[in-house]
């Protein structure tokens, strides 16, 4: 969406949904405008974040994570159909087993995304770091917001709501990673191949600095662990056999 369209969205929709005197919510919501992501790398980068968080919290049903989905937050904005959802977002303390075509705030008890990541490009960087950032701070009150250009490894920035409900920049650690307090993970870069594309990807890391794995990486790690265990068992059996022969 163009910068002018987003600015018009803010001017028309500065305030969130009015829960005391709400108008009738629209029922003809659109959840797919047919516009692709900026590039295949942007698509992979989005899925890396979604799938790795789902893998990390595979035993939990109290969160929802999605990307490239519309977020509807008031009736005027919905009628205008002029706001495209974040590239990645996560909402905590909600029923994660419900199938959703998009995120409709008035159907979710007034819940907004708790964490948002926008995957920038040269054509969207200014909007992502100004206009959208303003929406997420003032309207959504999203606790953690990050931006990253998949083609620029040095582009990672992040903000956290402070006590005055204003965004404060998150200082990177010595690795250049940013702490996402809401999720309890670091956001940092990782170079490798995902879906046959080699690049520097934005990834989650746990508090100990371990990479949060994708499902296929976790499966491969499990196979490798089982192989090592089998090898160790084989070595122990050989050692026992040698001791018995010596005796």
pLDDT digits (tens, 9 = 90+) for 205-246: 999 999 999 999 999 988 887 778 878 877 887 888 788 778
pLDDT value, residue 73: 87
Where residue 25 falls among pLDDT bands split at 50, 70, 90? low
pLDDT tops 70 at residue 35: no
Compare 36 and 105 and report the one with higher pLDDT.
Answer: 105
pLDDT value, residue 78: 67
**Could you report the per-residue pLDDT of 178-200, keeping only the tens digit for each?**
999 999 999 999 999 999 999 99
**Could you report the per-residue pLDDT of 135-153, keeping only the tens digit for each?**
999 999 999 999 999 999 9
pTM: 0.80
Q: Quick one: three-class SS letters along the chain? A: CCHHHHHHHHHHCCCCCCCCCCCCCCCCCCCCCCCCCCCHHHHHHHHHHHHHHHHHCCCCCCEEEECCCCEECCHHHHHHCCCCCCCEEEEECCCCCCCCCCEEHHHCCCCCCCEEEEECCCCCHHHHHCHHHHHHHHHHCCCEEEEEECCEEEEEEEEEECCCCCEEECCCCCCCCEEECCCCEEEEEEEEEECCEEEEEEEEECCCCCECCCHHHHHHHHHHHHHHHHHHHHHHHHHHHHHHHHC
pLDDT value, residue 2: 47
């Amino acid at each position: 969406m163009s910068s002018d369209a987003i600015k018009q969205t803010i001017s028309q929709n500065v305030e969130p949904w009015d829960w005391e005197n709400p108008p009738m919510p629209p029922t003809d919501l659109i959840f797919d405008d047919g516009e692709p992501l900026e590039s295949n790398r942007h698509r992979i980068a989005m899925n890396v974040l979604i799938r790795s968080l789902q893998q990390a919290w595979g035993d939990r049903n109290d969160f929802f994570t999605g990307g490239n989905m519309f977020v509807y937050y008031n009736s005027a904005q919905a009628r205008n159909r002029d706001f495209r959802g974040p590239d990645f977002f996560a909402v905590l303390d909600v029923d994660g087993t419900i199938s959703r075509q998009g995120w409709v705030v008035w159907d979710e008890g007034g819940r907004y995304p708790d964490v948002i990541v926008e995957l920038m490009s040269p054509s969207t960087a200014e909007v992502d770091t100004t206009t959208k950032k303003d929406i997420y701070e003032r309207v959504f009150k999203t606790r953690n917001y990050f931006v990253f250009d998949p083609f620029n490894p040095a582009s990672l920035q992040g903000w956290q709501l402070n006590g005055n409900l204003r965004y404060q920049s998150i200082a990177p650690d010595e690795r250049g990673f940013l702490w996402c307090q809401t999720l309890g993970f670091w956001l940092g870069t990782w170079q490798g191949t995902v879906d046959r594309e080699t690049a520097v990807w934005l990834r989650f890391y746990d508090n100990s600095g371990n990479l949060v794995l994708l499902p296929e990486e976790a499966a491969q790690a499990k196979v490798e662990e089982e192989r090592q265990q089998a090898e160790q068992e084989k070595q122990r059996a050989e050692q026992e056999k040698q001791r018995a022969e010596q005796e």
